């Protein structure tokens, strides 16, 4: 009887660790937010964050969009629980903009599993750069 419970326990652990995160990510629909009050950025992607952390509206939009689209994997307040990168450590400069751009536009896969879906086309550029602006406000070394 004890081995039955161990088998059930390890089956649940395997499912939660290996199957559930990838299945959940593939089924989530990105939620865009109201970006009124932000500079319209157009269709061509900017390589450097056009918003500054002194732009209160960009920070407000960013924290809301992060909470709706990123927190489930990257953690509340950008504090990761260990499965996804802790975004507080993303460099706050143009190097960080480059890393951020690559991931949010193209997503990330490993061995055919979607680790992070691409958000380009699902969320507006204004929304994505607002998220980046908010992330800079919570940056840690």
pLDDT tens-digit profile of 50-108? 999 999 999 999 999 999 999 999 999 999 988 899 999 999 999 999 999 999 999 99
**Sequence-ordered alpha helix ranges (H) in the chain:** 2-14, 20-27, 56-69, 71-74, 94-106, 125-137
CA gap 103, 112 in Å, rounded: 16
**pTM of the predicted protein model:** 0.80
Burial of residue 111 (number of CB atoms within 10 Å: 0-12, 13-18, 19+) = exposed
Chain center to CA of 49:
16
pLDDT in tens, 97-138: 999 999 999 999 999 999 999 999 999 999 999 999 999 999
Where do the domains of the chain lie, and which CATH numbers do they carry? 2-137 (1.10.760.10)
CB-based contact 128:41 (threshold 8 Å): no
């Amino acid at each position: 009887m004890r081995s039955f419970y161990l088998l059930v326990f390890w089956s649940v652990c395997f499912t939660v660790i290996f199957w559930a995160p990838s299945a959940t990510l593939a089924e989530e629909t990105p939620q865009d937010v109201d970006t009124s009050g932000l500079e319209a950025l157009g269709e061509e992607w900017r390589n450097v964050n056009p918003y500054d952390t002194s732009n209160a509206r960009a920070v407000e939009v960013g924290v809301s969009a992060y909470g709706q689209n990123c927190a489930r994997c990257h953690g509340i307040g950008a504090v990761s629980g260990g499965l996804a990168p802790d975004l507080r450590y993303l460099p706050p400069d143009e190097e960080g903009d480059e890393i951020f751009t690559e991931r949010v536009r193209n997503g990330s896969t490993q061995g055919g599993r979607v680790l992070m879906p691409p958000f380009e086309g699902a969320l507006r550029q204004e929304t994505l750069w607002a998220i980046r602006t908010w992330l800079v406000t919570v940056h840690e070394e």
